[in-house]
Amino acid sequence: MAAAEEEGGRRRGRVAVVVLGDIGRSPRMQYHALSLARQADLDVDIVANGGSDPHMAVKSNPLIHLHEMKSVRLEGISKISGALALILKAAIQFVILVWFLCFKIPRPDFFFVQNPPSVPTLAAVKLCSWLRKSEFIIDWHNFGFSLLGLSLGRGHIIVKIYLWFEKFFGRMANGSFCVTKAMQHELAQNWGINATVLYDQPPEFFHPTSLKEKHELFTRLENDICNPQEIRDCISEQRGRDSGSSNQLHNTLFTAQSGDGFFMKSNRPALVVSSTSWTPDENFGILLEAAVMYDRRVAKSLNEDDSIDEEKLWIDINNGKQYCYPRLLFIITGKGPERRKYEEQIKKLKLRRVAFRTMWLSAEDYPLLLGSADLGVSLHTSSSGLDLPMKVVDMFGCGLPVCAFSFSCIEELVKVGKNGLLFSSPSELADEFLMLFKGFPEKCDALKSLRDGALATSYSGRWSTEWETHALPLINQVISRKHQ
């Protein structure tokens, strides 16, 4: 299938997966690499920036070879001239890419490149594919010009040049994939590019988490959750008062161990998870406002005034007192440029029943966290309006229902009332929290219904099946054309 004749013998076919970014934060390209190795039986060279470790399945696969480029940072020049810094950075990245793709890796049958970023990636890959007589395929995750337009504005001359560049080199590819039908239509109608829709689907390591796995995860995360630096809230206060317990090794904030068995605590907080790259296309101010509204509306429903003693409230919760609305613990995972800004905003919030934690998890622990949570939140708004948040796919893979920000094609993924809800404002999101978590953990039927729907979604499709059906035929076609 993927084999080619060479010097009278047979060799395995080869592909170079190109990511001008942190491969550990590029899950879709990691899944492509795994499928290219496992299902297409190809040797895979991943050329990408370092930073975060990819999943263990990628690192341990003998057919996958990682080649790490160094990230280009020009902070000093960017302070003088942002435009000059962009041009210099693109030029340096172009040289680095060409060096790696032409000289540092074996000649591939084809290049498989992530877009965006488009500049200088598409030009560098096109040049290398010509020099090495290889084909190249683009996997369209979004549009680079629309992401750049978030900071510069769609009418900026640099954005217009970027759009021309992206279209020009995008048309030169020997094949294309994209993530939604809406994007497929846009590429066909306005770009002259025929792309195959390859929906994101969760791989097999995204699945519901067992009680034992939850207990072990929360034990590992105990300090990050319950003893954060410079934070005092309804979560840190509770565990601080628990620290002298002789059973602490057998209990976490959420779980307890009895003999060889495990169970969820009845007075645990509801766990809400969101992941982000902390970029402008995700406005986390919406989530912060919704959290404040939830906190205030719960206090109002319980007739609590501003003079309430928070210490006493937290002691009562710690001692097992339950209310019709639970505490909410938001765990926000990810790395990115706006993380520090939002962390500073969180510190200034005065909340009684809501706590926030920001952290980075390993590729192995992240699916376990999703499978341990009660609700997922997506604030992805899409710069183009044509891509879908992969985090939601991962959440569904773990049977986690989702509240997602509403935009043009989100309903290709989130089925309202079945596996999730949509919102357009902080007030709507706060209302959804109140509706879903009333009576938590036992008497919240709406949340349980959405969880059932998310579980059904998780069983309906997996990455390997989707890839074999929609991606493998194009891969085989490109390889066979290469060796004609």
Q: What is the dihedral of CA 24, 28, 34, 39, to 10 degrees?
A: 180
Q: What pLDDT is stored for residue 5 in this prediction? A: 39
> Domain locations in the chain?
7-201+463-482, 211-460
Tokens of 466: 């989707």
Render pLDDT for 161-216 as a digit per residue (tens, 0 to 9): 999 999 999 999 999 999 999 999 999 999 999 999 999 988 888 999 999 999 99
Render pLDDT for 323-358 as a digit per residue (tens, 0 to 9): 889 999 999 998 888 888 888 888 888 888 999 999
According to DSSP, the β-strands at 375-378 and 270-275 are: parallel
Rounded to an integer, what distance in angstroms lies between the CA atom of residue 412 and that of residue 182? 9
In the DSSP assignment, the letter for residue 247 is T
Q: What pLDDT is stored for residue 228 in this prediction? A: 74
Q: What pLDDT is stored for residue 98 in this prediction? A: 97
Helices (H), 255-388: 285-301, 310-318, 339-348, 365-372
Render pLDDT for 37-50 as a digit per residue (tens, 0 to 9): 999 999 999 999 98
Rounded to an integer, what distance in angstroms lies between the CA atom of residue 20 and that of residue 15? 16
- At the fourth CATH level, the homologous superfamily of domain 7-201+463-482 is Glycogen Phosphorylase B; (3.40.50.2000)
Alpha carbon separation from 179 to 21, 135, 212, 377 (Å, rounded): 19, 21, 35, 20
Cα angle 405, 203, 482; round to 5: 105
pTM, two decimals, is 0.83
Task: Split the chain (484 residues) into runs of 10 and give each run's mean pLDDT.
Answer: 42 91 92 96 95 90 95 68 78 96 96 96 97 96 92 90 96 96 95 95 89 94 82 69 48 87 90 87 89 93 79 75 88 87 87 91 92 95 86 94 93 93 97 96 93 86 90 90 70
- In this structure, are residues 424 and 290 in contact, taking their beta carbons and an 8 Å threshold? no
**Helix, coil or strand: residue 226:** helix
Rounded to an integer, what distance in angstroms lies between the CA atom of residue 333 and that of residue 464? 26
Tokens of 316: 């009562």
In the DSSP assignment, the letter for residue 100 is I
State whether CATH 3.40.30.10 applies to domain 211-460: no
Closest CA to 35 of 393, 461, 470, 481: 470
Rounded to an integer, what distance in angstroms lies between the CA atom of residue 264 and that of residue 273? 18
- In this structure, are residues 200 and 387 in contact, taking their beta carbons and an 8 Å threshold? no
| Neighbour count for residue 87 (Cβ, 10 Å) | 14
Task: Please tell me if the domain spanning 7-201+463-482 has the same topology as the one spanning 211-460.
Answer: yes
Q: What pLDDT is stored for residue 174 in this prediction? A: 94
| Neighbour count for residue 342 (Cβ, 10 Å) | 20
